[in-house]
């Protein structure tokens, strides 16, 4: 899936603004962390839909790049990554550092504590 540079820039700008507003408050529940950091591109369903990213339902220990009917980058589809706490944490912290040449555009604005809470929550989400 190709995303133009303007779309990436607009998405990153919107994400930064949303996170800045939310960070003014105290610890957010994990569902709100998902809403701020992930829901713009992903759902918690197991079925693909119109969103730019694959669904994250039943993510725990799933093989990366394995959702049927979603077009992954070759880098992710052939990575062999299985979603565990360490893998997902590294992915959220810096997607490009974890796996260069992936098509996911994400600029992390979460704190280390928020990332860990979100990671655990995502891996347990149905």
d(CA 61, CA 49): 22
Question: What is the pLDDT, as a whole number, of residue 9?
Answer: 44
Give domain limits for the chain. 5-124
pTM here? Answer: 0.73
CATH no., domain 5-124:
1.10.760.10
More confident residue, 58 or 3: 58
Higher pLDDT, 123 or 107: 123
Residue 38 pLDDT grade (very low, low, confident, very high; cuts 50, 70, 90): very high
Three-state secondary structure readout of the chain: CCCCHHHHHHHHHHHHHHHHHHHCCCCCCHHHHHHHHCCCCCCCCCCCCCCCCCCCCCCCCCECCCCCCCCCCHHHHCCCCECCHHHHHHHHHCHHHHCCCCCCCCCCCCCHHHHHHHHHHHHHCC
């Amino acid at each position: 899936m190709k995303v133009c540079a303007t779309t990436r820039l607009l998405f990153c700008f919107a994400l930064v603004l949303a996170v800045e507003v939310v960070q003014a408050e105290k610890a957010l529940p994990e569902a709100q962390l998902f809403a701020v950091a992930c829901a713009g591109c992903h759902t918690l369903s197991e079925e693909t839909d119109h969103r730019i990213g694959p669904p994250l339902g039943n993510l725990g220990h799933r093989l990366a790049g394995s959702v049927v009917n979603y077009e992954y980058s070759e880098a992710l589809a052939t990575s062999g990554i299985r979603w565990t706490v360490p893998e997902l944490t590294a992915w959220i912290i810096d997607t490009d550092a974890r796996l260069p040449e992936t098509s996911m555009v994400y600029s992390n604005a979460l704190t280390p504590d928020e990332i860990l809470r979100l990671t655990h929550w995502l891996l347990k989400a149905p």
